[in-house]
C-alpha cells in the first residue's frame, strides 16, 4: 500500500526544527561536530523512524534524498553560529510548531496504513515526541516525559484531533490544519502561562 501524500516541505521543516534542537543541545554541551551531527540526526528523525518501524514500513528518511542533507545542514548552522542567536523562546515556539505538525502527520500516515484509531493516535504522539526523548536521554538531561509541562499532551491533542476529524470525512487539508493549530495553541498556552499537569501526590 502506498503511503499518504504528506506535504514534503512541512515534513522537512519539522525535521529541520527538531534537528536544530538536538544540534544546539550538543553544542551547548561543548561536544564535537560529529556529536552535534548525531544529535541533530536522532532528534530530527527519531520519532518518525520509531513510528515507521512499528507500522512495518521503511523509515521515511532512508529513501529520501532530502532529509539527511537538511539534517546535516542544520548541524552546520548550529556549529558555526553564536549561541546567543538561539537564546530566548524563538526555538521553543518553532519546536511547538514542529511538534504539532509531526503529531498530525504521524497520525495521518498511521491511518493511511490502516492502523486502528487509538494506536494511530499513539503513533502520532511517538512521531512528535520520541526524537526529543532520545535527545534528552543521550544528553543526560531530564526528559520531557519527566517534566510536568504540557508537551506530550499537546502532541496528543493534535494527534487525537487528526484521527477523530479524519473519521468525519472533512477534507484532509482542513483536518491537518485544525488539528495542528489545536496542538500548537495548547503548547503555546503552556509556554506563555506556565501551564503544567498536576503531579501525583498520594502518600497512603
d(CA 183, CA 189): 10
- Residue 64's domain comprises 8-193
State pLDDT tens for residues 70-90: 999 999 999 999 888 887 788
Q: Convert the pLDDT of each residue in 134-146 to its tens digit.
A: 999 999 988 888 8
Asked if residue 177 is part of any domain, the answer here is: yes
In a domain, 103, yes or no: yes
Q: Tell me the torsion sign for CA atoms 5, 9, 10, 12.
A: positive
With respect to residue 53, please indicate whether it lies within any of the assigned structural domains.
yes
133-176 residue pLDDT tens: 999 999 998 888 888 889 999 999 999 999 999 999 999 989 99
Domain contains 146: yes
Total tally of structural domains belonging to the chain: 1
Give the pTM.
Answer: 0.92
Amino acid at each position: 500500500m502506498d503511503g499518504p501524500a504528506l506535504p514534503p516541505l512541512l515534513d522537512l521543516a519539522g525535521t529541520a526544527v527538531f534537528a536544530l534542537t538536538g544540534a544546539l543541545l550538543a553544542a551547548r554541551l561543548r561536544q564535537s561536530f560529529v556529536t552535534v551531527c548525531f544529535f541533530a540526526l536522532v532528534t530530527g528523525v527519531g520519532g518518525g523512524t520509531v513510528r515507521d518501524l512499528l507500522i512495518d514500513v521503511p523509515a521515511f528518511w532512508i529513501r529520501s534524498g532530502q532529509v539527511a542533507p537538511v539534517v546535516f545542514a542544520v548541524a552546520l548552522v548550529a556549529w558555526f553560529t553564536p549561541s546567543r542567536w538561539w537564546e530566548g523562546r524563538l526555538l521553543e515556539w518553532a519546536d511547538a510548531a514542529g511538534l504539532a505538525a509531526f503529531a498530525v502527520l504521524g497520525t495521518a500516515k498511521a491511518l493511511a496504513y490502516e492502523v486502528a484509531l487509538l494506536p494511530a493516535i499513539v503513533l502520532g504522539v511517538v512521531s512528535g515526541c520520541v526524537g526529543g526523548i532520545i535527545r534528552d536521554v543521550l544528553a543526560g538531561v531530564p526528559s520531557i516525559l519527566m517534566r510536568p509541562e504540557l508537551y506530550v499532551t499537546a502532541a496528543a491533542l493534535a494527534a487525537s484531533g487528526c484521527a477523530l476529524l479524519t473519521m468525519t470525512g472533512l477534507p484532509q487539508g482542513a483536518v491537518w490544519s485544525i488539528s495542528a493549530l489545536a496542538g500548537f495553541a495548547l503548547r503555546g498556552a503552556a509556554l506563555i502561562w506556565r501551564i503544567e499537569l498536576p503531579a501525583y501526590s498520594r502518600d497512603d
